[in-house]
Amino acid sequence: MATLTTTTPRAGRRETTERAPRTASPRVDIYETDKAYVLLADLPGVASDGLDVEAEHGTLVIRGRVERPSTPPDYQEYELTDYQRAFTLTEDLDPGATTATLRDGVLRVEIPKSPQMQPKKIPVRTE
């Protein structure tokens, strides 16, 4: 069961002007703990004020804006582009309690599971 699944970015960006900047889909890792789902996304070049994380209506959307250099480099192996990626959240998650941190170009999003979905320890009585 993959509770966080990727969704196709919403159509419509294509309908904007042809000069709309390109966006890249960041690479992510997703793992599960007893209490939460954790998503790690590589967003090099994004500062915290350029980051936007929304978790509502069953969707988690990550957007990152980068500062591009004013002049192109003399030798170029990569191009900084804005990032965008969306994930579907299932009902067993509690998106209202989502936390997000950004460190060294890596975004970490933690979405807790709903309390009723968390494992409960059942005490066993011996008679």
Task: Name the site residues for other proteins (rule: CB under 8 A).
Answer: 2-4, 6, 27-33, 37-38, 40, 42-47, 69, 71, 73-78, 103-106
Dist CA 12 CA 32 (whole Å): 32
Dist CA 52 CA 29 (whole Å): 18
The distance of closest approach from Cβ of residue 15 to other proteins in the complex, given in angstroms and rounded to an integer, is 26
Task: Compare residues 15 and 49 and give the one whose CB is closer to other proteins.
Answer: 49
Dist CA 90 CA 4 (whole Å): 7
Task: Compare residues 119 and 124 and give the one whose CB is closer to other proteins.
Answer: 119
Q: How many residues does the chain have?
A: 127
107 by DSSP, 3-state: which? strand
Task: Compare residues 88 and 127 and give the one whose CB is closer to other proteins.
Answer: 88
The distance of closest approach from Cβ of residue 3 to other proteins in the complex, given in angstroms and rounded to an integer, is 7
The distance of closest approach from Cβ of residue 85 to other proteins in the complex, given in angstroms and rounded to an integer, is 11
The distance of closest approach from Cβ of residue 87 to other proteins in the complex, given in angstroms and rounded to an integer, is 10
22 touches 68 (CB < 8 A): no
